[in-house]
Structure 1
């Protein structure tokens, strides 16, 4: 798993959100969101920025640029 997918899953759980809830806020299917967490695909920069906003974190953290 990539740093992004690991941190994405951890931050979502920390925020006490389900995959379905995050997907709904992004306007995508749960299956599409799950692919980000399982490292099957990467979101666009725009989507990644929305994810960071939803999870109240930064893209730098999600991508592993800092701890």
Structure 2
């Protein structure tokens, strides 16, 4: 599973809460912008977002990908 957040503080919090999953390579966290994802095309089979869309610069473009 991959996680991305624009906030370094949120990444740190998620890393603490999910330490075991990170240690077991079950979770990979990054700091970044969901409008410019660093992943290869067709790498992800699904995407989930909770309480974030109002922070996106271009929600329409992101949802069309």
Give TM-score scaled by structure 2 length: 0.30
Q: Which structure has more strand as a fraction of its residues?
A: 2
Identify the structure with bigger relative contact order (alpha carbons < 8 Å, sequence gap 6+): 1
Q: Which structure has more helix as a fraction of its residues?
A: 1
Give TM-score scaled by structure 1 length: 0.29
Larger Cα-atom Rg: 2
